[in-house]
Amino acid sequence: AAVLPVNALFAGDLEKNERLLHDLDDPTKSPGPGPSPLGKRSGFEKPVRKPSDISSRTPLQDLHSTITPADLHFERHHAGIPTIDPSKHELLIHGLVNRPMKFSLADLKRFPAITRTCFIECAGNFRTGKEEMTPQDVLGLTSQSEWTGVMLSTLFNEVGIDAKAQWFLAEGSDAAVMTRTIPLSKAWDDAMIVYAQNGEAIRPEQGYPIRLLLPGFEGNMNIKWLRRIELSEAPYMTREETSKYTYPVKDKIRMFSFEMDARSIITFPSYPQKVSKGYVEIRGIAWSGRGKVEKVEVSTDNGKTWQLANLQEPVLSKAHTYFRYLWNWNGNETEILSRVTDETGYLQPTLQQLVEARGPNIGGYHMNPITAWKVKADGSVWFKPEKYTDK
């Protein structure tokens, strides 16, 4: 039986010839291409991460909600992205356990699964220094995903944990063989071994095929390409928890600061956007490593007064939370700021408060100051860089 091609399939061929007869600017006048195995972005949209040699930053100002598209998730690598064959990858759990065990990826997927939406943020997330900075420049080392995997407690139950164990070492299979020590309590609380990100397999940059997920803890501790966990009485004092991810606090150096402190940033309006007089919906994200966002306040008068912003529901624990505040701008130059309070009652501090609390040698880790955008009378928006004494 003769079969003529149908619909969109043949539309492609027809299009080439017929389109010439039509107004090229009117999409209603000629059929477009049909379905495909995998979609692509519109050619008019080109969101990108900003890569340096060791990291790349999420374009926060381009995102309208809180799940980061996987290909825009920030990166921080210490020896690049390993190529791992998932059929060969195994996770070893040993040390202070009743039975040291190895789990294949297939084994891990058979255990009861759970999905958790939370942010992962680099503990060094915060840059300042000039007015020409976008939210991506200032705070782009944070992203959010739907993570799916097995509760670490389920695996620890399977191997049996020795009563003497207090900590566990997690080790990656990248060329840095990255290690961090984590308190055992986190495993009984909410730690997971995850194999899926936004529904599909974790992306290579995020730890394919498995990573440790420690909701709310420093990004670096969420070991990627995880291959080994060792239960121990004491922390290992690895390079990443001593020489790195520690910071001067007056005359001491603080280490093992796990939770990411609550913070917020206005992503619209921000540099280099422009606004017009009248209604401007101020938008941004807020989050806390210690639980839910309780409230976000916005100031449109240089921090003199603060107004409650709307929080996008559902508000999840340890998760980027979108906030919005409707501002009726009178056209005068001003500064706009946001500050978050989390469910523990912690209010995001000013830079001045942080410097006062930690002293003049304050480092680049766990810096979560309130930040401001300057709105000029011409509607242009600029980052307000505030000096602090790190050098």
Partner 1 sequence: SLTDTAKKAVKFGFGRTATPKEIASWDIDVRPDGKGLPAGKGDVKTGRIIYTTKCAVCHGANGTETPGVKLPGAALVGDTLAKARPKTIGNYWPYATTLFDYIRRSMPYNLPGSLTDNEVYGLTAYLLNANKIIKADVVLDAQNLPQIVMPARKLFIMDDRKGAPEIK
Burial environment of residue 359 by CB neighbours within 10 A (0 to 12, 13 to 18, 19 or more): middle
Q: Which is nearer to a second copy, 71 or 233 (CB)?
A: 71
Q: Which is nearer to ligand HEC, 10 or 279 (CB)?
A: 10
Q: Which is nearer to ligand HEC, 56 or 371 (CB)?
A: 56
Task: Convert residues 256-295 into a mask of x (bound to a second copy by CB under 8 A) and - (unbound).
Answer: -----------------------xxx-x------------
DSSP SS3 for 223: coil
Q: Residue numbers of the site for ligand HEC (CB under 6 A)?
A: 6-7, 78, 176, 239, 243
Task: Convert residues 276-305 into a mask of x (bound to Co ion by CB under 5 A) and - (unbound).
Answer: ------------------------------
**CB of residue 28 to Co ion, shortest distance in Å:** 20
Interface region with Co ion, contact rule CB under 5 A, candidates 98-106, 115-123, 208-216, 284-292? 115-123
Q: Which does 114 bind (CB under 5 to 8 A by kind): partner 1, ligand HEC, Co ion, none?
A: partner 1
Binding of Ca ion at residue 104 (CB under 5 A)? no
**What's the distance, CA 226 to chain centroid?**
19
Binding of partner 1 at residue 378 (CB under 8 A)? no
Binding of partner 1 at residue 266 (CB under 8 A)? no
Q: For residues 162-191, which are near Ca ion according to CB under 5 A?
A: 177
Q: For residues 38-67, which are near partner 1 according to CB under 8 A?
A: none
Q: For residues 134-163, which are near partner 1 according to CB under 8 A?
A: 150-151, 154, 157-158
What does the alpha-carbon distance between residue 80 and residue 97 come to, in Å, rounded to a whole number? 32
The DSSP output letter for 380 is: B
Q: Are 208 and 225 within 8 A, CB to CB?
A: yes
**What's the distance, CA 2 to chain centroid?**
55
Q: For residues 66-85, which are near Ca ion according to CB under 5 A?
A: none
Residue from 7, 32, 52, 85 touching Ca ion (CB under 5 A): that is 32
Residue from 1, 2, 20, 40 touching a second copy (CB under 8 A): that is 40
- CB atoms closer than 10 angstroms to residue 334: 19
Interface region with partner 1, contact rule CB under 8 A, candidates 8-16, 37-45, 125-133, 378-386? 8-16
Work out the angle at residue 126's Cα, subtended by the Cα atoms of residues 125 and 129, and round it to the nearest 5 degrees. 150
What does the alpha-carbon distance between residue 237 and residue 27 come to, in Å, rounded to a whole number? 62
Binding of a second copy at residue 248 (CB under 8 A)? no
- Alpha carbon distances (Å) from 187 to 85, 191, 226, 286, 380: 27, 5, 15, 26, 47
**CB of residue 293 to Ca ion, shortest distance in Å:** 39
Burial environment of residue 390 by CB neighbours within 10 A (0 to 12, 13 to 18, 19 or more): middle
Q: Are 292 and 315 within 8 A, CB to CB?
A: yes
**CB of residue 48 to partner 1, shortest distance in Å:** 25
Binding of partner 1 at residue 79 (CB under 8 A)? yes
303-305-311-315 Cα dihedral, nearest 10 degrees:
70
What does the alpha-carbon distance between residue 121 and residue 139 come to, in Å, rounded to a whole number? 9
Binding of partner 1 at residue 101 (CB under 8 A)? yes
Residue from 121, 137, 190, 218 touching partner 1 (CB under 8 A): that is 190
Q: Which is nearer to partner 1, 119 or 325 (CB)?
A: 325
Q: Are 267 and 283 within 8 A, CB to CB?
A: yes
What's the sign of the alpha-carbon dihedral 62, 129, 339, 363? positive
**CB of residue 31 to Ca ion, shortest distance in Å:** 6
Work out the angle at residue 211's Cα, subtended by the Cα atoms of residues 206 and 214, and round it to the nearest 5 degrees. 105
Task: Convert residues 56-95 into a mask of x (bound to Co ion by CB under 5 A) and - (unbound).
Answer: --------------------x-------------------
Binding of a second copy at residue 201 (CB under 8 A)? yes
What does the alpha-carbon distance between residue 193 and residue 153 come to, in Å, rounded to a whole number? 10
DSSP SS3 for 20: helix
Binding site for Ca ion (CB under 5 A): 15, 28, 30, 32, 177, 230
Binding site for Co ion (CB under 5 A): 76, 122, 219-220
